[in-house]
Structure 1
Amino acid sequence: MLRLSLRNLLVSKLRLFLTVAAVTVGVSFVSGTFVLSDTMAKAFDELYVGLTNGTDVVVKSQPAFEADITTNGGQVRPIDEAMVDQVRAVPGVALARGSVTGFALILDKEGRPIQPGGAPTFGASIGDARLSGDFVYRQGLEPTRSDQVAIDARTADQAGFVLGDRIDVVFQSGRQTFTLVGTIGFGETDSLLGATMAGFDLTTAQRLFDKVGLVDEIDVQAQRGVGAEELRDRIAATLPDGVEALTGDQVAADGSAAVRDAMGIFTQVLLVFAGISLLVGSFVIWNTFNVLVAQRRREVALMRAVGATRGQVLRGVLLEALLVGTFSGGLGLGLGVGLAAGIRSLLKLVGVEMPTTSPAVEPRTIVAALLVGVLVTMVAAIAPAWAATRVAPMEALRDAVPARYAAGWSRSVAGGVLLTAGSAGLVACIVVGDQRWWTVLSTLVTFAGLVVAGPTLARLTAAAADHGRRGGGWRMAARNVERSARRSAATALALTIGLTVVVAVAVSAASLRESVADAVSGGNRSDLILEPAGAGLGVSPAVADLLRDRDDVADVVELRETGARVNGHDSLVSAMNADGLGRVIDLGIEEGSLDTFGPGAVLVSTQRAEDLGVGVGDSVTVTFPETGSTTMRVAATFSRGALINASYVLALPDFAANVTSELDAAILVNSAPGVDPAQGKEDITAALADYPNVTVNSPDDITEKAQSSVNQLLGIVTALLLLAVVVAVLGIVNTLVLSVVERTRELGLLRAVGGTRRQVRTVVRRESVLMSLLGAVTGVALGTVSGVALSRALVDEGFTTVAVPTVTLAIYLLVAAAVGVLAAIGPARRASRVDVLRAIASE
């Protein structure tokens, strides 16, 4: 049976290639996702291990809770610098040094921000090399004066800086100039995973980061013979409440774990794309083995006649699937490494630079790739293999004829019921709104209905195309589709899956673009909005102070953000100035008033107020990672939160009392009466020359930038989903190739009675177009309805308007028809070259 399975696989190299490719794409997506996430995790592991190398114990504030690192940057409350001497006096301590970090943006020689996409721009105090991990000086010396700086060697090399150059750096407090006295390396690398770093002596760093008399942490090295855990326990016994001692290994592990958690959603999204590709591939595999079993009925019957058991037949077909799955898994694993690099490059094109190191191929990735490849292929082949065991030995006496794939009325009824139920569910989700999981469930039920009712839909498609003159290309193609309705439906549904997701994403993206425009036009009342450029962490509050001193500016309202917990629920919290808030933004106040908003009060979105069961005048508990819990009174509820992207708004003094960072996420500005907004934008841009990381935007600029970001995201998602569409196209090619082989005698007879090669090619092409259009129409229809329901379900995420990109959807239908023509080129040519005499003589 092994030799027979190998022979059957190698009979058709093209069929084997197409079958393997269908599984390989999905497997490579799975392995690529794991390789990319593991590589990034490995890079961050190396970063944190390198930073803590040489440090046995770290002393720092204990956060009230472990916040998501993406919402607060892992910031902790500074501690009193006097605690350094206290720790230094603990028995077993050899060295103890306080350190601080903060926002520091290095400018190049032209005054432009050196701002790597996705990587932080930070500054730090640097000193004793014995406590600095892998930190080394490539050139020069450590800074010792307030006008000196050392920067990472990568930034110095890229910007062309040499020792002695004057370098401008933007801080939270403003812009200053320093003399470059050293370049820094970290082990064998010249930067911390692409981040820019500016190093200063401790006293200067404390002044620059507004932490005079404070330190962010204390790094401790143990005396020889004293273990890290032992020293940690000794130090912890001397610390006040709210301050903790951790070993260097614990700090590295906690930092890596926080990053892994933050990357979790990214990995999950990529695995969803992988699952879509695998689902499409499973349809192709199932269809392929179904046709192969049908074509080998006489061969299988002969085997049964000469003594082969049903078990042997079953094992033979499954063995073929096992070989295909194993080979596809191994090939997909190798391609996954390249795909991971491709995804990184794709993200880099839109300004998201992922840290990396040498590719990490973990044992889990190898097992997952092989397991996924084998399982998908084996599961898809089970039904055809079981059908092969039911071939009777007497069928060996019959002439081989193309198999018809009939579907009974019960299947049609069941498919209609599922289609109706799923469609009704989607319509209900659209009407009710805010039904995420019901939307997903209804979409799955609708697709299940398409699968069950697929043959009926294929016959209806064939009936619609069965027109024209007798013997015409469309009529013959339609009848071929109708004759093999199950096969045609399975082929089309592979395309349906890919297009459903692509169209749903396109509808959601169009809705988000319109929602952004509505949020800016409907919620914004400001003339200008200032934001950090590129991947900037924020805008210096000095910018807001500068604007308040200008005569051409009437209102200046700062916006800041951080992660916090409100009544036990993690959330992004915004803070804004109470004075002038109503003049720069329309929050859509539902209950209460902005007049009562100020320190000790909070504004809550209507949805969150309903979720928490609170109203105006009630109290909520807001817990900050740095300072802990505080009770605030609900001053008002609002319905327009899309512009600020948060469900809670605090007064700026409350934010400053609980969050160390003073960087503004945005500044909303109104021009003074009589000032032309366009002229005001030009004048303010000129006045902020010392802050090149700040962009001055009109409302139209904000709308355009936000919509451009949505378009970029749509491009990335569509590019990833195209792999699933490619698999579906391979399925069409595979089906047509098998169909041509199956109909060899029929095609020969067609040629014998006068059919030209061109006519034969036309029939095969039109058959492909019909299958493509069936997949495209069902995919576009289901994707459109699902996209609308999903947009209605994401109101809390800023989807306030539903939009359907009709032109884009029409283009998808035209492209699907073109795909049908292109997919049929090879099979059609092969069909037209059938040898007439040999075809007629074949059995």
Structure 2
Amino acid sequence: MFIVALKGLAARKLRLLLTAVSIALGVSFVTGTFVLGDTMTATFDKLYADMGQGTDVTVRARPAFTDAPTMGSPRPMPVDLVDRVREVPGVAAAEGGITGYALMLDKSGKPIQPGGAPTLGVSHAEDEKLGGSISLRAGRAPAGPNEVAIDAATARKHGYAPGDRIRIVFESGKPADFALVGVIGFGDADNLAGATLAAFDLTTAQQVLGRPGQVDQIAVRATDGIGPDELRTRIAAVLPADLEAVTRATVAGEASRAVREGLSFFTTAFLGFAAVSLLVGGFLIWNTFSILVAQRGREHALLRAIGARRRQLLAAVLTEAVAVGLLASALGLGLGLLVSGGLRGLLAAVGIEVPTTTLQLESRTVVAALAVGLGVTLVAALVPAWRATRVPPIAALREAATPAHTLPKVRIVLGGALLAAGLPALSWAIAGPSRGGAAMLGSLATFVGFLLLAPALVRPLVAVLGAPIARLGMAGELARQNAGRTPRRTASTAAALTIGLTLVVAMTVVATSMKASVADVLVRANRADLILKADSQMAPGIPAAAADKLRVLPEVGVVSPMRFGRIQVAGQTNSVAAVDPGTAEQVADIGVASGSLSALADGEFMATVDEAKAHGWQAGDQVTLRFPHTGDHTLRLAGTYTDTTLLGAGYLITIPTYEENFSERLDVAVLVTAAGGIPADALKRSVQQALADYPNVAVQDTAEFNAAQGATVDQLLGLVNALLGLAVLIALLGVVNTLALSVLERTRELGLLRAVGMTRRQVRACIRWEAVLVAAIGSVLGTVLGLLIGMAAARALAGEGITVLQVPIAQPLVYAVVGAAAGILAAITPARKAAKVDVLRAVVAE
């Protein structure tokens, strides 16, 4: 039986290779993700370990909590603490350092903003040993108030070299000009995970970064014979309680872990897309083996008649599946190395640059590729293999296999029950906001129910969708009959395309609703005429001095800045916004439920109604809030509000309270209204002229702001759809495979049609229209399911800011038409093969 299985594989090499490729594409996504993740881990581990060389202990402020970003520089400490550390026995050298916000401009005056990576200003270590792997690639170290060195990646991309002049924007105000005297590298890397870096001498860094007489951390090197742990203990003994000393290994581990955690979202997302692709590939495997088993029914019956046992038939079919799975795993492993490069390119497209290094192919990745490839293939082939064992020996006397046309009662009952439960759950989720549980369960039940009952829907859909095709002539009518002849096969082939289009359409509904919600917020909650934000969506903010410049303009009525941070309340991390109570109500409506926003004082806070209710707070209660820089502080609850769509935070404090507890001074947004009688265009021109020295500030009216937010959503949707395109590609491979097998199954039929006068062109047209019908069925089902699931998902995300449900019409229709038209491409090869059927050989084929 093993030999029989091998001969079966040899007789169907092309079909099984095409089947293996579908799984290999999904496996490649899994392996590519693992390879990229392992490569990033190894790269950053080495990078941060090398950077820490020469520094045995680091002194820094003790963070109040570490499970959320502090959105800025660490809490500073007095510079005279450096001398105290130097006096500790066992210290060979100690040097203070500082880090802050510094935005470089390119030679045309435009901001150099690397997407999600930070734009850093730092002090350059005078002691080269304390600098670790940070080294000068060209020029010299900065010395003096007008000199700077920049990272090698920025210098290369924007054409900077020692001797040039460069402009840099800081938190404190407008750009300043510096002489570029050096280019910095980080071992083999040109930058730190895509961040830009401007390095100054310590005194200059303290001035431009707004930390005169202060440092953020102290790097310490031990004398010979003193270990890092011992030195850490000695230094910790002389430090205040709010400071700590940590070893080089701790710092390197934290830095590398922070980068990995920051990139973990992308890893999870890539694995999610891989899972979708594998699911679609599983449908293709199942369909292919089901058709092969049906076509070989007589062969299996003959084997049973000459003594083969059911267990042997099962082993033979599963042997073929194992061979396909192994081939898919090998192909997927090889393709995964290429895919990792493509995924790295996607990260670079959003501003996250991974330093180049040797690709890391871990044993876990090889095991994962084999497990996924073999596992999916075997699971998908198990039911067809079991069916092969049920073929009775008497079937050897039949002329051809008779495929089943009726659905099992269990499948009908289960599919009906799932739809009966899923559709009401979806309807309830769509009817009300924030019903995530109902949306998730309803989507899953409805989706599975549709897939189970899809064969029952095939013939009605073929009758409707095939009516226009049938009017095209005999080829169209035959295509319609062929598509409806085996509804289970047609449904399972279309199901792969259904999955891909369901996700694409659902994402489109969510994205469209997100854009509509932004527009609704601007109409409902925003009272400003202009919105000032950083020119890059991922930038941390704009200098606070920009708002100060606008307050003196005669065309400006109100200037109200907003800031943003993270705090902990009762152990839970939450967002906090900071506003100017005197102006906030004039530019925004946050739905105050109790208290008064204009009366909010320093040392007080407001919370959403839901937060106050969850903690059992009443107005006037004293509540302990934990800030990342300053730790626990007790503030008075002054009131509650209901609308977080504009603030995006569950807590609200004043800007002075914010400045007491956060070190950064960047405004996330500044809302501006016009003075009485000033036209909107005059206000915008005046503001733009006043901020000419702030090229990183985007000045937008509400229409422009809405368009910018929509463009960002569209960019994200395009990226997601591009990744989901792999699942659609696999689905089209399924159409190709099924049609190719169908042509082989109908060799005699096609030969007879050719014998009675059907032309090659008509044969090709028949196969093409059949492919279009199959693709159209998948497109229709995917569009309907995608609209339902997308509406439920959008409503479930009401708490995340999607307050308006808007269902697009044009885009899903375009997707459906394109999906159906793609059937023509999928039919090219099978149609050519069908047209080349030899008439004389076909009429005697079994």
Same structural fold, with TM-score higher than 0.5 when normalized by the shorter chain: yes
Matched, 1:97 2:95: yes
Q: How does 1:656-695 map to 2 (within 5 A)?
A: 656-695=659-698
Q: Tell me if structure 1 keeps the 8 A contact 2:71–2:540.
A: no
Shift of 1:528: 1.5
Match of 2:533 among 508, 531, 534: 531
Q: How does 1:152-551 map to 2 (within 5 A)?
A: 152-174=151-173, 175-349=175-349, 351-358=350-357, 359-464=359-464, 472-534=474-536, 535-551=538-554
Q: Residue type of the partner of 2:241?
A: D
Counterpart amino acid of residue 111 in structure 2: P
Q: Check whether the contact 2:297–2:401 (CA below 8 A) recurs between aligned residues.
A: no
Distance in 2 of aligned mates of 1:43 and 1:309: 55
How big is each residue's C-alpha offset from its partner over 1:353-393, in whole Å with a ceiling of 9 and x where there is no partner?
33232233333222212211110001101111111122233
Corresponding residue of 1:113: 111
Q: Is 2:647 aligned against 1:644?
A: yes
CA distance in 2, matches of 1:674, 1:785: 48
State how far apart, in whole Å, the 2-side matches of 1:645 and 1:532 are.
17
Deviation at 1:397, TM superposition (A): 3.0
For 1:735 and 1:276, locate their aligned partners in 2 and report how far apart those are by CA, in whole Å.
Answer: 20
Secondary structure in 2 matching 1:709: helix
Cα deviation for residue 834 of structure 1 reads 1.9
Structure 1 position 491, deviation (Å)? 0.8
Is residue 581 of structure 2 the alignment partner of residue 568 of structure 1?
no
Q: What residue identity is the alignment partner of 1:491?
A: T
Q: Work out whether 1:655 is the aligned partner of 2:658.
A: yes
2:589 maps to a residue whose letter is: D
Q: Which residue of 2 aligns with 1:582?
A: 585
How far apart in 1 are the matches of 2:140 and 2:764?
76
* Matching of residues 126-165 of structure 1 within 5 Å: 126=124, 127-165=126-164
Return the letter of the residue paired with 1:171: F
Query: Which range moved further: 565-574 or 727-736?
Result: 565-574
1:84 to 2:82 alignment: yes
* Structure 1 equivalent of residue 60 of structure 2: 60
Cα shift at 1:189 = 3.7
Q: In 2, distance between residues paired with 1:425 and 1:790?
A: 12
Among 713, 729, 734, which residue is 1:731 paired with?
734
CA distance in 1, matches of 2:464, 2:104: 66
Distance 1:445 1:801 in 2: 25
1:262 to partner: Cα distance: 2.3
Tell me how far apart the structure 2 counterparts of residues 204 and 130 of structure 1 sit (CA, whole Å): 21
Partners in 2 of 1:458 and 1:633 — Cα distance?
64
- Residue 264 of structure 1: how far off its partner (Å): 2.1
CA deviation vs aligned residue, 1:651-710 (integer Å, no higher than 9, x gap): 111110110011111111222223222122222222222221112111111111000000
Q: 1:585 to 1:245 in 2, by over 3 A?
A: same
8 Å Cα contact 2:776-2:816 kept in structure 1: yes
Q: Given residue 235 of structure 1, which amino acid in structure 2 is its aligned partner?
A: I
- One-letter identity of the residue aligned with 1:479: Q
* CA distance in 2 between partners of 1:579 and 1:787 (Å): 41
After superposition, the CA RMSD in angstroms is: 2.2
Residue 584 of structure 1: CA displacement? 1.1
Q: Which residue type is aligned with residue 411 of structure 2? A: R
Deviates more, 1:103-112 or 1:155-164: 155-164
Residues 65 and 317 (structure 1 numbering): CA distance in 2 closer, same or farther, change over 3 Å?
A: same
1:105, CA displacement in angstroms? 1.6
- TM-superposition CA deviations, 1:108-130 (whole Å, max 9, x none): 33333233333322111112111
Identity %: 48
Q: Could you tell me how far 1:448 is from its partner in structure 2?
A: 1.5
The aligned amino acid for 2:739 is: L
Whole-angstrom distance in 1 between the partners of 2:191 and 2:816? 49
Structure 1 unaligned spans of 5+: none
Q: Closer, same or farther in 2 for the Cα pair 1:448/1:111, shift >3 Å? A: closer
Q: CA deviation at 1:736?
A: 1.0
Q: Deviations over 1:454-479 (max 9, x none)?
A: 22112332444676689944543343
Q: Which amino acid aligns with 1:435?
A: R
Following superposition, the deviation at residue 259 of structure 1 comes to: 2.0
Opposite residue 708 of structure 1, the aligned amino acid is: A
Change (3 A) 1:475 1:161: closer
C-alpha distance in 2, partners of 1:269/1:512?
A: 20
1:465/1:474 contact within 8 Å kept? no
The change in CA–CA distance for 1:607 and 1:734 in structure 2 (over 3 A counts) is farther
Farther off after superposition, 375-384 or 48-57: 48-57
Q: Is the contact made by 2:333 and 2:366 (CA closer than 8 Å) also made in structure 1?
A: yes
Question: What amino acid is the match of 1:456?
Answer: A
Q: CA deviation at 1:483?
A: 2.9
Shift of 1:731: 0.8
Q: Is the CA contact (8 Å cut-off) linking 1:607 and 1:796 kept in structure 2?
A: no
Distance in 1 (CA, whole Å) between partners of 2:535 and 2:691 is 13
Q: 2:563·2:577 contact (CA, 8 Å) conserved in 1?
A: yes
Distance change (3 Å), C-alpha of 1:8 and 1:145:
same
Which is worse superposed, 24-33 or 535-544?
A: 535-544
Question: 1:246, CA displacement in angstroms?
Answer: 1.0
Q: Alpha-carbon deviation of 1:504?
A: 0.4
Farther-moved stretch of structure 1 (528-537 vs 691-700): 528-537
In 2, Cα distance between equivalents of 1:461 and 1:322: 36
Distance 1:529 1:42 in 2: 42
Aligned length: 840
Distance in 1 (CA, whole Å) between partners of 2:190 and 2:514 is 40
Distance change (3 Å), C-alpha of 1:606 and 1:820: farther
Match for residue 559 of structure 2? 556
CA shift in 2, pair 1:397/1:636, >3 Å: same
SS of alignment partner, residue 579 of structure 1: helix
